[in-house]
């Protein structure tokens, strides 16, 4: 049995920051949102209480709805039409028009006491969002320049994912995944020299990340070896003892083992 430890530096984890905002319009190419300064996630799961004889009889949890407030110093031109500010002709924008849905991704950083901000990061994927601008406030300039910050309330419509409730918000935690798969996802999200950036649907994300894991076996040349891979497939179970899952292992009968892929 393992005694609980409250002083492990690797367990002193925190999240901070916001970067790599990307806007994915439904009918236009994706664009980096350089001016995005904040995302306040507001949606929360609630419950419905049913009473019988004056006492709680049944408590049923209701699905969480993704709601958030976006904050930015500026926004991509493509976002103007999304929020109902449509360009009628060169330089002329008409307000109060029909807006459009959009997808969004952004990144938050993860730190710990050992690695600082290098511990990892989370990529947030938001689907089918609708934006409602909050009121803007303008005032005369004084002795200092304070940029105006725009803000929008957004609500997102969920998408299906087999085996789970539909969701409009997917979080990818880079600490808990294979780096090769992370590369595949980021190439989709941020584009390559040969392909435009796009946001994969929740089912595509799941299928990409759930299809096996790269497990690397390293021979140290001194009779020992090291294994690395997903935290779900390679983990320490005792002093110098690792458990490796999702691989084929054959005992050769001479103290050696042959390890091969399950695919």
Instruction: Specify if 188 maps to a domain.
Output: no
Write out the residue range of the structural domain in which residue 87 sits: 9-178
Cα dist. 102→11, 17, 161, 171 in Å?
Answer: 36, 23, 19, 17
Instruction: Specify if 89 maps to a domain.
Output: yes
Q: pLDDT class for 99, splitting at 50, 70, 90? A: confident
Please answer whether residues 208 and 186 qualify as being in contact, where contact means their C-beta atoms are separated by less than 8 angstroms: no
Same domain, 20 and 112: yes
Q: Which residue has the higher pLDDT, 33 or 233?
A: 33
**Vertex 21, ends 168 and 68: CA angle to 5°?**
45
Lowest mean pLDDT among 10-14, 31-35, 186-190, 248-252: 248-252
Residues 6+ apart with CB under 8 A from 26: 100, 101, 102, 103
pLDDT, tens digit (0-9, with 9 covering 90-100), for 20-29: 999 999 999 9
Instruction: Specify if 81 maps to a domain.
Output: yes
Same domain, 103 and 20: yes
> pTM, whole model, 2 decimals?
0.77
What's the rounded Cα separation, in Å, for the pair 229 and 247? 11
Please answer whether residues 72 and 36 qualify as being in contact, where contact means their C-beta atoms are separated by less than 8 angstroms: yes
Same domain, 139 and 236: no
Instruction: Specify if 52 maps to a domain.
Output: yes
Q: pLDDT class for 239, splitting at 50, 70, 90? A: low
Instruction: Specify if 92 maps to a domain.
Output: yes
Counted domains in the chain = 2
Residues 6+ apart with CB under 8 A from 74: 34, 35, 150
Domain limit, last residue, from 178, 206, 229: 178
Same domain, 38 and 155: yes
Domain limit, last residue, from 178, 203, 230: 178
Percent residues over pLDDT 90 in the chain: 47
Same domain, 226 and 160: no
3-state helix, strand, coil in the chain (%, to 5): 15, 45, 40
Q: Which helix (H) or strand (E) holds 79?
A: helix 77-82
What phi and psi, each to the nearest 5 degrees, are found at residue 232? Answer: -80, -20
pLDDT, tens digit (0-9, with 9 covering 90-100), for 225-237: 776 665 556 666 6
Same domain, 109 and 230: no
User: Residue 17, SS3?
Assistant: strand
Domain limit, last residue, from 160, 178, 196: 178
Same domain, 135 and 16: yes
What's the rounded Cα separation, in Å, for the pair 209 and 177? 8
Lowest mean pLDDT among 53-62, 197-206, 217-226: 217-226
Same domain, 166 and 70: yes
Please answer whether residues 73 and 150 qualify as being in contact, where contact means their C-beta atoms are separated by less than 8 angstroms: yes
Cα dist. 152→6, 40, 97, 125, 134 in Å?
Answer: 40, 10, 16, 17, 5
């Amino acid at each position: 049995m393992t005694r609980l430890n409250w002083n492990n530096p690797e367990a002193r984890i925190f999240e901070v920051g916001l970067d790599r905002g990307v806007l994915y319009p439904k009918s236009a190419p994706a664009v980096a949102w350089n001016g995005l300064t904040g995302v306040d996630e507001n949606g929360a799961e609630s419950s419905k209480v049913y009473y019988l004889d004056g006492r709680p009889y049944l408590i049923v949890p209701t699905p969480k709805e993704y709601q958030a407030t976006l904050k930015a110093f500026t926004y991509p031109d493509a976002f103007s039409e999304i929020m109902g500010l449509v360009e009628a002709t060169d330089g002329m924008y008409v307000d109060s028009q029909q807006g459009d849905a959009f997808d969004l991704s952004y990144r938050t950083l993860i730190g710990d006491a050992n690695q600082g901000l290098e511990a990892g990061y989370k990529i947030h994927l938001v689907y089918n969002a609708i934006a409602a601008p909050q009121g803007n406030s303008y005032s005369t300039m004084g002795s200092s320049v304070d940029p105006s910050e725009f803000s929008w309330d957004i609500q997102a419509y969920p998408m299906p994912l087999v085996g789970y409730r539909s969701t409009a918000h997917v979080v990818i935690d880079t600490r808990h995944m294979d780096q090769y798969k992370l590369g595949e996802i980021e190439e989709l999200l941020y584009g390559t020299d040969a392909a435009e950036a796009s946001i994969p649907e929740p089912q595509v994300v799941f299928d990409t990340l759930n299809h096996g894991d790269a497990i690397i076996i390293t021979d140290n040349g001194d009779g020992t070896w090291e294994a690395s891979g997903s935290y779900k497939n390679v983990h320490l179970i005792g002093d110098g003892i690792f458990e490796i899952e999702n691989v084929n292992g054959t005992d050769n009968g001479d103290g050696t083992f042959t390890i091969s892929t399950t695919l």
